[in-house]
Structure 1
Amino acid sequence: MRLHELPLRILERIGLAPQVWDGREIDIGHGTLRSVPSWGVSLLLHGFALLLLALLIQTGGAVAPERAFTSELSPPGELGDLTSLVEADRSGDPFTDLDDPNPPSMGFGPDDPLIKLSSQPEIPGLVAFAPEPAGPAPRSELSTSLMGAAPLPGLSMNIQAPFSGRSGIGRAELVRREGGTVHSEKAVEEGLAWIVRHQKADGSWVLNASETCQACPSQGTIVSQTGATGLALLPLLGAGYSHTVKSRHQAAVRRGLDWLRANQQENGDLHVGGNGISWLYSHAIASMALCEAYGLSRDPELREPALRAIRFIVEAQDPTTGGWRYRPGQAGDTSVFGWNIFALRSANLAGLEIPKRTLRGCTDYLNLAAADGKKVLYAYQPNQAASPVMTAEALVGRQILGWRRENPSLIKGAGRVAAHLEKSEDRNIYYWYYATQLLHNMRGKDWERWNPHVREALIRTQVRDDDCTNGSWDPSSPSQDRWGNAGGRLFQTSLSILTLEVYYRYLPLYRTADEAGMDETPTPPGGG
């Protein structure tokens, strides 16, 4: 398609191209546009983009049909070509090029809707983790706290400001470049408002929102005050809301962090208000929140609680399999493993190094959990059948531990996940959360196809009502989520927001080392 044909093609695609007016056929096509100079075409393109954005805001935007999800991985040889059916859909919308390292040329103005939605103050960058009065400790000091410590292989220490994409114009630029929209950002902010409305007076949250709000239905059978508080804080922190920077959610974040600190045990354990099954799940989630809050704020009062929480994870790792399960020292499962390696990743981004033996154990566990000899597919526990959900979760772990984006097993595994998502009929936000991160890290056609589907499905299914449920995601409607009855509305809402924050919550996993001309993903410690 030629440049001068693009506006017409887009108009025709969305049904706005005027073809008949007052009984007469109107030609607005090739001849007219060919006579326009190149600068005029450029002006027309940008003007049309702004017009389309305004129309989307006014109309609520076109939404994709509901995604369908099934339960089995597609057999080998059935992956197929996942090239988008419509070329303009490949990047999520007609004005975003995912292969372009720079944002689209549409400039930011004071009334830009993305800037308004991302208006919290800029987050100070962690420049090389330099020691400051209110900054992270020097590397040498951290290393003495965790003996034999090292950065995670998949996270190059050239990262200068690992959380810098979460606020202000940086967040808006990443939303546009990575495939988000004004509507996805609006959904994030409305979801965060629901979470803040349901905070308890003591600063914590509970999974069953009906305990704090009679207007919300009773949903959620799991009991974990720590897990709920971590799940509430993570999307707030993911959107750049810190407890030290003035914003509309500053007080809620501060009170939540204060509750975690007040209830942390001397050995670092954060588990409060739950049964044994939720123990290491909830500790890992809350540890992520402490580490990310420390990384965002460089508040020295958070460093020691974050470090103690990570020490507890290190000591709770099963020395035989290298995994984590419900209680310290248990043989691992891939679900609990995923939350704990994410906590280690958050700690590493905040400047806290991880013991090398812990990283070797992580690689050992993933090798055991692989359901095939080439380490493409993964099971819930070693020696079990492959699961698509666990495959997505395990492969993100592989990325964090250092597998190259070009690793053949990673490419095949991500392709299998993408193919499964394409045909699946299940609603499973836990799966979508991990699969979205996996495919976003990989980029390529699978991501370009999946992104608009999951983004629009989440936007469309967010509750929009006049009561207190507005802004949340209902785990039972429009269809039952796989884990919705157990996790409840807070779990559903938190993971939905985190999935929509994928564009900026973490800077691209592989990009930093690529730009530095380094091998960003050395072989993980312990092989594999």
Structure 2
Amino acid sequence: MSCRCLSRLWNLSLLRYAAGFCLLFCVLECPLTAEEGDAAPVTVPIEVEDPSAQHPGLVVSSDTFELLTADRIQTSLFAHRRGGLRRRALGNWGGSRASESAVHAALRWFSRHQDENGKWGLRSYPDRCSDLGPRCEPGEAHPDAGGDITVSAQALLCFLGAAYDHHIPSPFRRVVKAGLDWLLDQQQEDGRFAEDNVRVDAQATLALVEAFAVSQDPDLREPAQRGVTHLISQQHRVPERALAWGLRQGSAMDTLTTAWVMQALYLAQMVDLDVGNGIVGGQHYAQAVWQGGREDFLLRWNPSEETQDATFHLAAGAHLVTWTWRDQEHAMHDPMREQLRFRALQNAHIDHQVRQWPMNVENLLWTTQALFQLSARQTDNSLWQEWNAAFRDVLVAGQRRDDGCFDGSWDPQETRFDGHQLGRLLVTAYATQSLQTYYRYVPIRAPR
């Protein structure tokens, strides 16, 4: 029986309750099994529940993470990315047909703009599009290997976030495989990807770790471990204590770089890679900043600058804390939640507003991921509902949905973040991942 027939039968209440989970799984999975190389639009059928309804979601207790190994990964942090759990997560947390349509339009846009060698090139990506009409503009900043590595890693994270890897047959399997092969070719023997840029290394390592976690490809274990080992080697240390990371080796520790690294290390630990005392070091850093009274987690792009962007620093710091103490409650969680409520919603600066496009998509990504995880720890998730209502439809409406090269992307102009000069590739990646938040990582509820 075809997927179309099953979808029609699904609407009959008798079959809906009689067929149970097996029919639900079949209906949801059929659109994700198109023949390899078929670049036709992918439609994921979603029956979205009332976003205001209170659902507990999937409860994962802290002891789940102590001995979490690869054979248990599908029931853990990535479990909501496909099938019935993805559908449930979208309904529970406020996703919509429109938000999922936007995600898949973005993935199609990425697939049309991939270089022949598998990368997404800041300068070269517009030339890959065969659509008629005006072409997308090239990125203006960092037209070097580091810039290409950053946007390629972020593009891969978008595909992986939607459960597309290089093994399972799908319209994007070849795209993901080519991207991973190129990224692996950029890795040096010591595990680094870029010359003296820890933030680039962290994002590339994160992409490899996620690909290994989702696909369970044994060939990815060793390069993922090398990337993790290199990150640990760049960690600041004081006698008898590991701390955090700076943008470059020897530079001052900063929250943004540390947040990227901690996300990679936490996921690496989940799939039984050796992370040494890296996570403990991140805890030391976050605790020291908190106890020092710097609740906004000040981030210095340039140590000589006196003016600091407190809202963005707070969002990056909150994201850091959600990964540093993911499986346990911490005294930082409640104050951070309230500060984010004030700075992101009640007193948002023009550079951080999310109620109209264009917006600062980097701040959006950090704030969205942090609020999603922090709100999941509360019985009352009204803060998440308020945030989701503010940004979701605005972001969807801001996507280019026209014929030609731009279709599925977001314009980078006036997006008001430090890296927006990298252009349409990075802006589209951040926007896409923001719309994947509902199912990208299972929300962890504090043990009761």
Please tell me the TM-score bracket, short chain as reference: 0.7 to 0.9
Q: Structure 2 CA distance, aligned partners of 1:363 and 1:465?
A: 46
**Equivalent pair of 2:114/2:128 in contact (CA under 8 Å):** yes
Q: Which has the larger radius of gyration?
A: 1
Which structure dedicates a bigger proportion of its chain to helix?
Answer: 2
2:126 matched to which residue of 1?
210
* Deviation of the 1:159 alpha carbon: 8.4
Amino acid at match of 2:141: T
Show the counterpart of 1:30.
none
Query: Could you tell me whether the CA contact under 8 Å between 1:210 and 1:217 is conserved in 2?
Result: yes
Q: 2:371 aligns with which of 439, 450, 458?
A: 439
What is the aligned partner in structure 2 of residue 355 from structure 1? 276
Distance 1:442 1:326, change over 3 A: closer
Instruction: Return the alpha-carbon distance in structure 2 between the equivalents of residues 211 and 369 of structure 1.
Output: 46
Counterpart AA for 1:233: L
Structure 1 position 485, deviation (Å): 3.8
1:162 aligns with 2:162: no
**Residue in 2 that maps onto 1:31:** none
Unaligned runs of 5+ in 1: 1-38, 40-92, 104-125, 137-156, 518-528
- How far apart in 2 are the matches of 1:202 and 1:158? 31
User: Within 1, Cα distance between the matches of 2:294 and 2:418?
Assistant: 27
Task: Say if 2:177 is the partner of 1:242.
Answer: no
For 2:181 and 2:170, the matched residues in 1 are separated by 17
Q: Paired residue for 1:221?
A: 141
Tell me, yes or no, if structure 1 residue 497 matches structure 2 residue 420: no
TM-score, with structure 2 as normaliser: 0.75
- The one-character-per-residue Cα deviations of 1:423-459 (angstroms, maximum 9, x if unpaired) are 3222211111111111111222211100121111110
CA contact (8 A) 2:165 2:176 kept: yes
Q: Displacement of 1:405 after TM fit?
A: 7.1
What are the within-5 Å matches in structure 2 for residues 31-430 of structure 1?
95-97=50-52, 99-101=54-56, 160-208=75-123, 209-210=125-126, 212-213=128-129, 215-223=135-143, 224-271=147-194, 276=196, 279-320=197-238, 322-356=243-277, 358-370=278-290, 373-374=292-293, 376-381=295-300, 387-402=310-325, 407-422=330-345, 423-424=347-348, 425-426=350-351, 427-430=359-362
In structure 2, how many angstroms separate the alpha carbons of the residues matched to 1:286 and 1:267? 14
Compare 380-389 and 436-445 and name the one that shifted more.
380-389
Which letter does structure 1 place at the counterpart of 2:417? Answer: R
C-alpha deviations, 1:354-407, integer Å up to 9, x for none?
A: 212x2232123224544x744532101489657111111112212222278754
Counterpart in 2 of 1:114?
none
Report the alpha carbon displacement of residue 183 of structure 1 after superposing the two structures with TM: 0.6
Q: Which is further off, 202-211 or 433-442?
A: 202-211
Quote the residue 1:475 is aligned against. 412
Residue matched to 1:452: 389
Give TM-score, length-normalised by structure 1.
0.64
CA contact (8 A) 1:98 1:179 kept: no
Distance 2:326 2:224 in 1: 27
Please give the secondary structure, in 1, of the residue aligned with 2:439.
coil
* CA deviation map 1:251-288 (0-9, x unaligned): 000111111222211111122xxx75xx2222111111
Partner SS, residue 503 of structure 1: helix
**What amino acid does structure 2 have at the position aligned with 1:187?**
A
CA RMSD for the aligned pairs? 2.8
> Could you list the runs of 5+ residues in structure 2 that have no partner in the other structure?
1-12, 14-47, 59-64, 352-358, 376-380
Question: What's the CA shift for 1:212?
Answer: 4.1
CA distance in 2, matches of 1:436, 1:216: 27
Is the 2:107–2:158 contact (alpha carbons within 8 Å) kept by the matching residues of 1? yes
Change (3 A) 1:458 1:309: same
Q: 1:173 to 1:289 in 2, by over 3 A?
A: same
Count of residue correspondences: 366
- Identity across the alignment (%): 29
CA offset digits 1:324-374 (Å, max 9, x no partner): 223234331112112111111221233324212x2232123224544x744
Question: In 2, Cα distance between the equivalents of 1:404 and 1:447?
Answer: 19
Residue in 2 that maps onto 1:5? none
Deviation of the 1:211 alpha carbon: 5.5
Is the CA contact (8 Å cut-off) linking 1:233 and 1:256 kept in structure 2?
yes
Residues 393 and 435, structure 1, Cα contact 8 Å, conserved in 2: yes
